[in-house]
Structure 1
Amino acid sequence: MEIIIKPVAYVRNSRKNIEDDNWGSIISEIELIDELDESSFQGVGDFSHLEIIFYFDHVTDDKIQYGARHPRNNKKLPKVGIFAQRGKNRPNKLGLTTAELIQHDGRKIIVKGLDAIDGTPIVDIKPVMKEFLPRKEIKQAKWSSELMKDYWR
């Protein structure tokens, strides 16, 4: 089976290089591709947060990881499978971030806290609805909290 996914928009922001931390203050503009009408964003302003699904286009195929590894290649952290971490070197190179919607203006939206670099292709955008959030307390590995301490700083 072949799956073809085309970008619906692109990211514009000040982050030109791939970095692991300090994404919390990043403001990004997401602009629809020419083929999509601005009505695609109609009603988006009624939501405070959006789930942004994007493609890690700077990850080369030789960097893809399919098995277990140390997150960020840090040997102090346990070796865990690629599906037990959120690293960019994923089999399908897809990223997902919940970002705060700051503004909607025609064909563009402005979001805060999107951890995607300038030029990143966006493959989908969904509103965050509380009914889709976990209904029970979230559990996570201890190492992940340590790893993320500066991520949104």
Structure 2
Amino acid sequence: MSFTIKPIAYVKNSRQEIEDDHWGSIISEIELVEEVSELALSGITDFSHLEIIFYFDKVSDDKIQYNARHPRNNPSYPKVGIFSQRGKNRPNKLGLTSVELLSHNERTITVRGLDAINGTPIIDIKPIMKEFLPKGEIKQPNWSTELMEKYWD
């Protein structure tokens, strides 16, 4: 089975190259494509945070990971499967990030903390609702905490 997904928007920001860290201060505009009505964003400012689903369009097919690897190719981290990490070299090249909504103006929303480079296609935008947040304590391995130390700084 295969299917087609068309971008609903594109990212505009100052990040031109794929980088692993320092995404927290990045301000991005997400501008809807012409085929999507600006009415699709009606009511969005009632939410403080959004989930942005995007496509890693700069990842070449020969870089896709289907097996286990060391996160960031760091041998001090354990080999884990691609579905046990959030790397960009995923089989379907999908990214998901929670962002802070800063403003909305007609066809454009401005967000903070989107870890996608300029020109990245946006697949979907969803509001974050408390009822969809995880219940209970979140568990994760130490290597992931170390890996993320400078991601948002």
- Look up the match of 1:28: 28
- Look up the match of 1:147: 147
Alignment of 1:58-97 (within 5 A): 58-97=58-97
Q: Secondary structure at the match of 2:96?
A: strand
**Unmatched segments (≥5 aa) in structure 1:** none
Alignment of 1:50-129 (within 5 A): 50-129=50-129
Segments of 4+ moved more than 3 angstroms: none
The amino acid that maps onto 1:119 is G
Q: Secondary structure at the match of 2:40?
A: helix
**Unmatched segments (≥5 aa) in structure 2:** none
Cα deviation, residue 3, structure 1: 1.6
Residues of 2 paired with 1:132 and 1:3: CA distance? 27
Deviations 1:10-49 (A, max 9, x none): 0000000000000000000000000011000000000000
Q: TM-score, normalised by structure 2?
A: 0.99
The amino acid that maps onto 1:135 is K
Residues of 1 paired with 2:141 and 2:117: CA distance? 27
Cα deviation, residue 74, structure 1: 0.5
Residues of 1 paired with 2:85 and 2:61: CA distance? 18
The amino acid that maps onto 2:128 is V
Q: Secondary structure at the match of 1:72?
A: helix
The amino acid that maps onto 1:121 is P
Residues of 2 paired with 1:94 and 1:101: CA distance? 21
Alignment of 1:13-24 (within 5 A): 13-24=13-24
Aligned length: 153
Residues of 2 paired with 1:134 and 1:68: CA distance? 26
**Identical columns (%):** 71
- Look up the match of 1:8: 8
